[in-house]
Amino acid sequence: MQITDVETIRFETERQPKTTDRKGHAHPGEGPPERTEQTITRIVTDDGPDGYTLGGDEDSNRWMADYLEGMDPLARETIWKDIATHRRISYRRGPIATIDHALWDLAGRHAGLPVYKLLGGARERIPCYASTMCGDDDPEGLGTPEAYADFAESLVEAGYPAVKLHTWMPPYDEDPERVIAACRAVREAVGPEIDLMLDSHHFYTRLEAKQIGEALADLEYTWFEEPLNEQSIAAYEWLTREVDVPVLGPETVRGNMQARAEWIRNGAMDICRTSCNNGGGITGALKTVHLCEAFEMTCEAHGGGAPNLHVMGAMSIPGRYCERGLLHPDYEYDWTPPHLDAPIDELNDDGTVTVPQRVGLGERYNWDYIDDNRLS
């Protein structure tokens, strides 16, 4: 079996309306679903199954096709190492994750198994947390501590066992006192049994982060995520020592398992972070998962999507939660875009998401719709 091409399937689809503030954070838009462009990357083989994944761009896939042509699509580690090291490609986003996800999908189709079974098959259901959008200035949205409390209460009623707040970030007022008031209002609204986390403005000073972290410890939050610039390991080492709430990271720092090894060695966090999209695909994320296992440290996956679910389904020292969102009172997250027959992360009655049980990554593409709306 050899790779013969890497195709980019470009098509128009619909999404729930969103706006972006001038600092780049998403908020709900208004009106009916809006048209948007989407891609699927397809790795084509001569006499085996093809591999598919959502995303990828034409330029990257064209030059990856030149490189991958004639290679064995099951040689994932060779291909990963070669893209990551010889071509010095960033792990963060970029073609390494796209190609790796499509190769794992192909491997699953070849074996007739869902990817998480190939990876180890540790668990079928992952508890999930509701992850809110960033704060805004709408009192009916996420504009006040009381609005966060009301929304958190409705999320718990909907069946979530845990809630993660993204609070205010510029251009909205990120004053630590206001953030702490929102965290306190949410704890009072949902009671002591619900796990709560905070992902705050990522550029607080040490003293601001310490002020918030001490409040979170009193409120028994489960973790405190990325309050400081992640380029400073020393700042995180200081914070992890200073506060009792578990500190989680790094999420956006450059590098993959090597960067996380330095953080662990320096005692810069209590819980590690990885993700498939930012961590070099499933192959890259797994390297971090196994690194964490060697240090008896849990590892939480950032964001949703099929690849993350399969990695979480294969962890033997599990990260506690999968992330479902981003959510907002005015945003209809549980809505299936027309290019899919079903979303990948439907919420079960017990507050979990089932790891996809279909072969490969298990995405449920609506090929009739995609073919009717093809752009290339």
Q: Binders of Mg ion: how many residues, by CB under 5 A?
A: 2
How far apart are CB 62 and Mg ion at their closest, in Å?
Answer: 32
Piece of the chain touching Mg ion by CB under 5 A; list 39-47, 75-83, 128-136, 196-204: 196-204
Piece of the chain touching Mg ion by CB under 5 A; list 56-64, 73-81, 215-223, 246-254: 246-254
How far apart are CB 252 and Mg ion at their closest, in Å?
Answer: 8
How far apart are CB 199 and Mg ion at their closest, in Å?
Answer: 4
Question: Taking Cα atoms as reference points, which of 10, 1, 14 lies closest to residue 61?
Answer: 10
Site for Mg ion in 249-278 (CB under 5 A): 251
Is there binding between residue 199 and Mg ion (CB under 5 A)?
yes
How far apart are CB 147 and Mg ion at their closest, in Å?
Answer: 21
**Type of residue found at 361:** L
How far apart are CB 323 and Mg ion at their closest, in Å?
Answer: 8
User: How does DSSP assign 121-150, residue by residue?
Assistant: ---SEEEEEEEEPPP-S-TTTTSSHHHHHH
Q: Which DSSP symbol is given to 31?
A: S
Cα dist from 352 to 158, 190, 297, 320, whole Å = 12, 18, 22, 11
Comparing CB distances to Mg ion, the nearer of 251 and 345 is 251
Comparing CB distances to Mg ion, the nearer of 84 and 162 is 162
Q: Is 283 exposed, middle or buried (0-12, 13-18, 19+ CB in 10 A)?
A: buried
Contact 26, 20 (CB under 8 A): yes
How far apart are CB 302 and Mg ion at their closest, in Å?
Answer: 6
Q: In the numeric block, which tokens belong to residue 113?
A: 């198994």
Residue of this chain nearest to Mg ion (CB atom): 199
Piece of the chain touching Mg ion by CB under 5 A; list 60-68, 192-200, 318-326, 358-366: 192-200
List Cβ neighbours of 8 (8 Å cut-off, separation of 6 or more).
Answer: 39, 40, 41, 42, 56, 57, 58, 61, 62, 376
Comparing CB distances to Mg ion, the nearer of 199 and 230 is 199
Q: Is 54 exposed, middle or buried (0-12, 13-18, 19+ CB in 10 A)?
A: buried
Piece of the chain touching Mg ion by CB under 5 A; list 148-156, 244-252, 315-323, 336-344: 244-252
Is there binding between residue 323 and Mg ion (CB under 5 A)?
no
Q: Give the binding site for Mg ion (CB under 5 A).
A: 199, 251
